[in-house]
Structure 1
Amino acid sequence: MGARRALTGTVVTLVVVAGAAVVADRVAVGVAEDRAADVVTEQLDVSGRPEVTIHGFPFLTQLLGRSLDDVDAAADGITLEGVDATDVRVHARDVGLVAPYTVGDARVEATLPPASLERVLADRTGLDVTLTVDGDALRASGEVLGLDLSAALVPRVEDGTLLVDLADVALGERRLDVADLPGGLGRAVSDVPVPVEGLPDGVVLTSAAVVPDGVRVSARGTDVVLPEAP
């Protein structure tokens, strides 16, 4: 009986200790997630409180190893070099915790709302147009040379640059080929680059597609070196 009680007591003790270790681990990861969110808020122009989730267990072992296996971050919005983006999602693997801070694999997704793209088009082409989502394209509406303009804009990514192409053009009552637009307008509104700057070095755009809220862009980088926090 004594041996059995001793064994039972040992098991119970181990369970309690293990439970305490789990609690301590979860508390530590919660503190780390909150601190990471604070740093994001301090360093970047974000909307709302960002969410940071550190995956993997135990966290303390990862901390001792100075590398996090898997980290997700999300923000309602962010402004990068004057361009607003919404619904920002970041997935990072192999995140180093000592300088130089590196990320083995980083993936970023964000939505560029029509209002952001309107400002870019105005800066790049001088056109004052209103953009709305129209299926898998953006519909540009405005006035050119005193005539109503309606055109479909199709985003794409080429060599890491977001470009917007013009298609399905109507000027007044006439439908035109892009090459036939007056005043060299066709050339001005084809392959228009949309600057998406402020990404970490090594992270480049990979794709773009029209979604109900605007243009969803994706970017990816490997062995990315992050700037040190001030």
Structure 2
Amino acid sequence: MGARAVVSTVVALGLVAAGAYVADGFARSSAEEQAAAVVTQQLDVQGTPQVRIDGFPFLPQLFARSLDDVHATADGVTLEGIAATDVTLDATDVSLDAPYRVGGVRLEATVPTSSVQQVVGARVDMDLAVDGDLLRATGELFGIPLTAGLVPRVADGRLLVDVQDVTLGAGTLRLEELPGDVAERLVGIEVPLEGLPAGIVLEQAVVVPDGVRFTATGADVVLEQLP
């Protein structure tokens, strides 16, 4: 084979490879747009979610009708009236054919302090702010300054907020020492997060500078429908 033939062959192979790369990128981009539409359908998302599908080349995943790793982010999501921000979603083994199963899902989002305040305020007339690794509620009881340290926890897939410490005036009290039904109103305050897709359950919650960061997970989740 002459030099000219070798050069022609190399150029041809290069064009084929470039074409395959472009086709792979186009298919991935199209799939990411479709995945964003699915995320929007399954969750009440604010704005357009950003989706990234990992793995190269992508076309073998498309031919296998299963995506290995899908990552999505969104500015916000509303769960039955409760606003959450800084949403991240990681999904593995995402089927592209009915019944559209997802092998594993991990969803994280932050319930801002203002959203928790809405719920707490319906139970007790107190302001809420982040104080280190807990939430600090402040108000008055019979004209005396009252503060309570609140800690989030997850029980049976529900996000609850409980009192850790109480200060009335200059003294520290046990919860049962509070008068009236104040103690009852400060225990087991539920922050309703009812808008999660079926099969995705709350696992944990921690206080972060912006509010309460929760994690929800699911395995072998079946999406109700696709667009």
**Length-normalised TM-score, structure 2:** 0.92
Which amino acid is the alignment partner of residue 9 of structure 2? T
After superposition, what is the alpha-carbon deviation per residue over 1:17-53, rounded to whole angstroms, capped at 9, x for unaligned?
1111111111221122223324434564322321011
Q: Describe the SS at the equivalent of 2:117.
A: helix
Matches within 5 A, 1:1-230: 2=2, 4-41=3-40, 44-123=43-122, 125=123, 127-230=124-227
Q: Which deviates more, 89-98 or 163-172?
A: 163-172
* Contact 1:110/1:216 (<8 A) preserved: yes
CA contact (8 A) 1:142 1:148 kept: yes
Deviation per CA, 1:180-214, whole angstroms, max 9, x where unpaired? 11113223312222221111222111111111111
- Greater displacement, 91-100 / 142-151: 142-151
- Partner of 1:98, secondary structure, is coil
| Runs of 4+ that moved beyond 3 A | 38-44, 144-147
Question: 2-side partners of 1:41 and 1:89: how far apart?
Answer: 13
- Aligned 8 A contact 2:121 2:127 in 1: no
Give the counterpart letter for 1:144 in structure 2: L
Q: Distance in 2 between matches of 1:44 and 1:164?
A: 24
1:102-135 Cα offsets, whole Å, 9 max, x none, are: 1101001100101111112234x2x122111100
Say how many residue pairs are matched. Answer: 227
Contact 2:42 2:197 in 1 (8 A): no
Question: Where do 5+ consecutive residues of structure 2 fail to align?
Answer: none
Cα distance between partner residues in 1 of 2:141 and 2:20: 68
Q: Which moved more, 1:169-178 or 1:74-83?
A: 169-178
- For the residues of structure 2 that align with 1:216 and 1:147, how far apart are their CA atoms? 32
Q: Which amino acid aligns with 2:158?
A: T
Contact 1:200 1:225 (C-alpha < 8 Å) held by counterparts: no
**Equivalent pair of 1:92/1:107 in contact (CA under 8 Å):** yes
Aligned-pair identity in percent equals 56
RMSD across aligned C-alpha pairs, in angstroms?
1.8
How many Å separate the matches in 2 of 1:169 and 1:112?
Answer: 23
Output one character per residue of 1:159-190: Cα deviation in whole Å (capped at 9) or x when no partner. Answer: 32222110221223432111111113223312
Q: Distance in 2 between matches of 1:153 and 1:114?
A: 12
| 8 Å contact kept, 2:43–2:196 | no
